[in-house]
Structure 1
C-alpha cells in the first residue's frame, strides 16, 4: 500500500492537486459568508465539491501524465512518475484518468449544472487545449493552463450562488494573472529540463528578459482587479494594494538580478505567499 500510494502521489502531482482543489473550497467558504448561509444546509454539497473536484483534477493530472509520457522521461523533475518508470502500465493510467474524470464530473453534477460546467471547462482546457493542442506548439500555452486553474474559486462559489458575481470573477482574474509569473518562475528554475523536453515555455523560447518583462505586466495588472469590487472596507483595498505592490517589486527586481535562478526561486516562493494572502483577505473582509 505504501508503494502504491507513493506512485499515486507522483501520478496525481499532489501539490498541484491541492493547489487546484483548495481554491474551490475557499470559494465555497466566501460564498457561504457572503450569503450568510448555514453550513448544515450545505454540508452534503460541500462534501460533493471536495470529492468531485479532487477526483476531476486528479483525473486531469493523470491524463496529462499519460499524454506527456514521452517528454517526462527527458526531465529530471518528472523521471519518478509511473509513466516513466513503468511501475504502472500506460493503459492502466489511461483508464484511471478517464475513470477519475468521469466520476468527479458526475459528483459535481449532483451539486448543480453550473458547478459541473465550470468543472468541465477547467478539465477540458487543461487536458485538451493546454496539454494536447498548445503546450508543444506555442509559448502562450501557459495562458490556456491558467484558465483551467482560474475557474476553481468560481466552482466553489457556484455551489451557493451564481459564479457570475464580482467576487468570484475577480478571483478568476487574479488567479489567471497570478499563474503566469508562478509558472514562468518554475520554467526558469527548471530551464534545462524544459529545454531538453522541447515544450514551448516562454523562458526557453524567448529568453529571460522577455519573460521578466511579461511577468511585470501581469503583476501590474493585478493592481487594477480590486477596483471592480464594491462593498469591501477601505482597509481591504489598502492591504491588497500593498500586497500587489510588494509582489510587483519582487517581479521588477528580476531586471537587475545577479542570479536569475535565485530571483526565480524568490518569485516562486513569494507567489505562494501572495495567493494565500489574497484568499485570506477575501475571506476576512467579504461583505
Structure 2
C-alpha cells in the first residue's frame, strides 16, 4: 500500500503526459501565488467545517469531563491549528491527485492547479509541509490525537483519493470515514479514552456525509460521468441514489437518543432537524425535478451540520 501511494502521488504530480509537457513549457507554472490561490488549493470551506467539528469534539471533552478550558490553552491551540493544517494538507494532496480530471468538471476546472497559478510540484510541497506541521502539533496534545490525524490523512489521500474515488461506486461511503475523524481528534486531544459521546460524534459525521455528497453528485452527474468517476448516480441512477440518501438520513434519526449526555434539549433539537431532513428525503421520491431537490438537500445538509454542532457547544455550557 505504501509503494502504491508513493507511485500514485508521483504519477499525479506529473499530471499525465499533457500536463507535464505544459509545465515544461512554462505555461502551467506561475510565480503568482495569492492568498486566494492558497485557500482554493487547501479547500478552505472543507477546512473550516472540519475544524468546527474538531473544536466541538474538543469542547465537549472539556465540558463533559470537568477539565479546565482556561488551563489548557496550549492544547486548544495545538488541536485547532493542527486539525486545520492536516485537513488543509489533505485538500492540497487531493488537488494534486485530481489534476487529470479537474479540467473536465465545471466546478473544478478553475482550481489553481488547473489554471497554472500553482504547479503540481509546488502544490505537493505545500501539502507535505502542512501535513507534517499539523501532525506534529496534534502529537503535542496526545499520541492518540496524532495517530488519528495520520489515519485521517491516509484514508482521505490514499484510500479515497488515489483509489476508491476512481474505482468504486462506494467511494462516497469510504471517503466518509476520513471526514468523520476530526471530532475524534478533538476529543482525544483532551480525553484520550473512548466513551459514547465521541463515538456518536463520529457516527453523526459518518452518516451525514453520504446524503450531503450524493446531493452534489446528482447535480453534477454528467460531469462525473465525463470524468469517469463512478459516483452512485452515474452507476446506479438517481432513483437508487435517492433511496441511499433516505437510508443514511434514517440512520441519523436514531443517533440523538444515544446522546442524552448532552441533555434533553439537544435530543429534541437534533430529532426535529432529523425529521425535517427525513421529510425532505421522502419528498424527493415524488418530486420530478431531481436537480432542484438535490440543491435543497445540499443546502439543508449544510444548515443541519452547522446548527447541530453549534448547538452541541452552546447546550453543553449549561449542563
TM-score, normalisation: structure 1: 0.95
Counterpart Cα distance in 1 of 2:40 and 2:147: 28
Count of residues in Structure 1 that have an aligned counterpart in Structure 2: 287
Query: CA separation in 1, counterparts of 2:256 and 2:81?
Result: 31
| Farther-moved stretch of structure 1 (211-220 vs 271-280) | 271-280
Shift of 1:172: 0.5
Q: How does 1:204-283 map to 2 (within 5 A)?
A: 204-283=234-313
RMSD, matched Cα: 1.7
Q: 2 CA distance for matches of 1:270 and 1:129?
A: 28
In structure 2, the gaps of 5 or more residues are 1-30
Q: 2-side partners of 1:282 and 1:5: how far apart?
A: 32
- Contact kept? 1:135, 1:141, Cα under 8 Å: yes
Q: Does 1:180 pair with 2:210?
A: yes
Pair 1:56-2:80 in alignment: no
State the partner residue of 1:148. 178
Name the structure 2 match of 1:17: 47
Pairing 1:189–2:207 present? no
Say whether the 8 Å CA contact 2:176–2:206 is kept in structure 1. Answer: yes
Give structure 1 stretches of 5+ with no counterpart. none
Task: Determine which structure has more spread, i.e. the larger CA radius of gyration.
Answer: 2
**1:2 Cα offset (Å):** 8.8
Deviations 1:81-126 (A, max 9, x none): 1221122221111111112111111111111101101111111110
Instruction: Give the alignment partner of residue 75 of structure 1, picking from 101, 105, 110.
Output: 105
SS in 2 for 1:120: helix
Which residue of the partner structure matches residue 201 of structure 2? Answer: 171
CA displacement, residues 29-48 of structure 1 (integer Å, 9 cap, x when unaligned): 11121123222211111111
Q: Which residue in 2 is equivalent to 1:37? A: 67
Question: Closer, same or farther in 2 for the Cα pair 1:71/1:163, shift >3 Å?
Answer: farther
Contact 1:163–1:169, Cα closer than 8 Å, also in 2? no
